[in-house]
Amino acid sequence: MHKLNSPDGKRLLSLVREGDYAHAGEIEAIEGLLKLIDPPSPRSWLDAGCGRGGTAAYIQRKCGVAMTAFDIDEVSLDEARLHYPQIRFLGSDVAQIAHTLSDSFDVISCFNSFYAFPNQPQALAGLARLAHDQTQLLIFEYTASDQFKTSGFAHLPETSHWKPVVPDTFPRELDRQGWRLEQSVNLDAEYARWYAELVTKFNRRKTLLVGTCGKEIYEYALCFYSSLLSAIESGQIGGALFKARKKRAGD
């Protein structure tokens, strides 16, 4: 049902975006997130929902951190391990990652993966167990307006599992699960630009994409991302970056 979260869907997107990125904005988005990192430079980093590993690899090269990344999709992880052997990739559901790892990390990131976590409060609580008092949590994600749940876009088969962040209520959920929101950055305009560029890339690279991935998934993806762009332009969907920090005992 969720073709674009499948290994074939991620492969298609990696070709469109010319890198193993499955999130909006690609390198521009990563660089924007890195600007929010407080000194000193992090030594360890956990990327949650890493897909094919391109984002984790970029951060590792840029920051020189010890990078750990995980995803539930073992096929995409096989590609990530092949292309980025210097990174520790783990196969795990976010609900189980705190039972898989005993480490704590200076930074934990989610790049357009949080919306797909079935139990978001449980995910936040589990990630908090992998944090120390100064750990920074950075969530780059879709946001939903009041119109999202009643929109046609929200009822597409591909979006049946979508849970975009609601900015007005998200700080309270972070607080309940052991995090304190420090900063949020509205990215609605950037998401509109990034997805307009993505749709243009689909059209420009049609021959390559159809020849490599097949006509059916190409047409499905182009239709879906054109619909997503319309939802963004009409204000049903947006984007934001949330920076939170692990709460200390007594906070």
Beta bridge partners of 108: 46, 137
Burial 43-58 (b: 16+ CB within 10 A, else e): ebbbbbbbbbbbbbbb
Instruction: Please state, in angstroms and rounded to a whole number, the distance separating the CA atoms of residues 87 and 99.
Output: 20
Instruction: Please state, in angstroms and rounded to a whole number, the distance separating the CA atoms of residues 32 and 88.
Output: 24
What pLDDT is attached to residue 248?
A: 81
| Cβ within 8 Å of residue 178, ≥6 positions away | 124, 125, 128, 131, 246, 247
Instruction: Please state, in angstroms and rounded to a whole number, the distance separating the CA atoms of residues 247 and 74.
Output: 32
Instruction: Please state, in angstroms and rounded to a whole number, the distance separating the CA atoms of residues 245 and 243.
Output: 7
What pLDDT is attached to residue 100?
A: 93
Interval 65-99: pLDDT, tens: 999 999 999 999 999 999 999 999 999 999 999 99
Interval 181-203: pLDDT, tens: 999 999 999 999 999 999 999 99
Instruction: Please state, in angstroms and rounded to a whole number, the distance separating the CA atoms of residues 231 and 238.
Output: 8
What pLDDT is attached to residue 249?
A: 73
Which tokens hold the place of 99?
């039972």
25 dihedral zone (left: phi>0; alpha: psi -120 to 50; beta) = left
Q: What would the DSSP string read from start to end of 21-43?
A: --STTHHHHHHHHHTTPPSSPPS
Residue ranges in the chain modelled with pLDDT below 50: none
Report the percent of the chain where pLDDT is more than 70.
99
In this structure, what DSSP letter does residue 53 have? S
Type of residue found at 59 = I
Contact (CB, 8 A) for 115 and 142: yes
Contact (CB, 8 A) for 79 and 53: yes
Which tokens hold the place of 174?
């972070």
Residue whose structure tokens are 């900015």 = 167
Question: Taking the CA atoms of the chain, what radius of gyration do you get in angstroms?
Answer: 17
CA distances from 142 to 180, 191, 244 (A): 20, 9, 17
